[in-house]
Amino acid sequence: MADSPDYTPPKVWTWVKPNGGTFASVNRPIAGPTHEKPLPVGRHPLQLYSLGTPNGVKVTILLEELLALGHAGAEYDAWLIDIGKGDQFGSGFVQINPNSKIPALLDRSTPKPIRVFESGSILLYLAEKFGAFLPQDLTARTETLSWLFWQMGSAPFLGGGFGHFYAYAPTKIEYAIDRYAMEVKRQLDVLDRRLSECAYLAGDEYTIADMAVFPWYGGLAKGWSYGAGEFLSVQDYHHVQRWADMLLARPAVQRGRRVNSNRGDPSEQVRERHDASDFDAVMAQKAPGK
Ligand SMILES: N[C@@H](CCC(=O)N[C@@H](CS)C(=O)NCC(=O)O)C(=O)O
């Protein structure tokens, strides 16, 4: 791979494998499955194929919140898709998400199972299916969807831009890190100003917009993402901090963050979730003397 200062792009780009950096082994310029692999199916109506990344956690937070509200129909099986090992390119997964990215959902409660991909689309689908966390009032509903779509449009600059060049790229490129640090700080300021006006992003009500934004920007504010808390002075975004603490205190958010997690403290990881007791099973392993 050429060093960036001396790099002149060729007339036609060709795929040179590997190009270095984290995820280089799974990245490729073509879509479609790489291997035959049917997906497992559990007993619940909702089958979630995901991983405990910010995009995955959005959905497990919503499912746990729905269950906490008493929506028994939101019971789900959560299967771990290991994107580092290329599970997203298995034939069964690609049938559910042709874009080969987690999360993907299959709703088997309908006469013909419905597939849903793109985390924002999954949040909207579930919120509408259960009539929860999406206000009915047109102004509040529209504000919710505006922040939901804001997240979907903004986070690639945080993850694919800042996170990639700050933490994962094989070389530190000042231009790229500067460009994306500037944008991410601007985004944090957008959130901070909004959250200085109201408790939640859409107003007084906790909605799917908060659930979408929290794993990305709440995580960044709490210093979980890319080891970049100090670099981005995240403690200065006081309203984002207040909001992130409020969400973190919710038991459903705490549970949602643990589902399909394969990183960090093993006793916090609920790699697959098929029943509420799966949380207790992991906690039991953590009990003193065990
Ligand atoms: N816009 C998509 C993005 C999903 C996404 O980027 N997922 C990542 C993990 S957070 C993934 O599956 N990456 C695997 C790959 O790129 O091969 C969504 O919100 O659902």
Q: What is the whole-number distance in angstroms between the Cα of residue 55 and the centre of ligand 1?
A: 7
Please indicate, yes or no, whether residues 272 and 201 belong to a single structural domain of this protein.
Answer: no
Query: What domain range is 195 assigned to?
Result: 138-257
Q: Is residue 148 located within the same domain as residue 116?
A: no
Q: Cα–chain-centroid distance for residue 173?
A: 26
Q: Is the pTM of this model over 0.75?
A: yes
Name the residue of 102, 118, 211 whose CB sits within 8 Å of the most ligand 1 atoms, as the mutation to test its pocket: 102
Residues 54 and 121 in one domain: yes
Same domain, 231 and 152: yes
Per-residue b/e over 65-75, b at no fewer than 16 CB within 10 Å? bbbeeebeebb
Same domain, yes or no: 171 and 272: no
Evaluate: CB of 100 within 6 angstroms of ligand 1: yes
What confidence tens digit (pLDDT) does each residue in 40-64 have?
999 999 999 999 999 999 999 999 9
Give the β-pairing of 104-107 and 76-80.
unpaired
Q: 169: helix, coil or strand?
A: coil
Distance 20 CA to ligand 1 centre (A): 19
Å from CA of 102 to ligand 1 middle: 5
| pLDDT(23) > 80 | no
201/216 same-domain check? yes
* Three-class secondary structure assignment of 47-72: EEEECCCHHHHHHHHHHHHHHHHCCH
- Position 198 in a domain: yes
Mean pLDDT of the chain: 94
Verify that 41 and 120 share a domain, yes or no.
Answer: yes
Closest CA to 37 of 112, 94, 103: 94
Residue 228 belongs to a domain:
yes
Whether residue 54 is found in the same domain as residue 118: yes
Residues 159, 205, single domain; the answer is yes
pLDDT at 76 over 90: yes
Rounded distance between C-alpha atoms, residue 101 and residue 213, angstroms: 18
Ligand 1 near 212 CB (within 6 A): no
Residue 8 lies in a domain: no
Q: Is 141 exposed, middle or buried (0-12, 13-18, 19+ CB in 10 A)?
A: middle
Q: Please check whether residues 125 and 186 belong to one and the same domain.
A: no
Dump pLDDT digits (tens) for 120-137.
Answer: 999 999 999 999 999 999
Ligand 1 centre to CA of 196 (Å) is 30
**What ligand 1 atom has the least distance to the C-alpha of 55?**
10
Which range among 14-18, 29-33, 57-61 shows the weakest confidence by mean pLDDT?
A: 14-18
User: How many separate domains does the chain show?
Assistant: 2
97 and 147 in a single domain? The answer is no
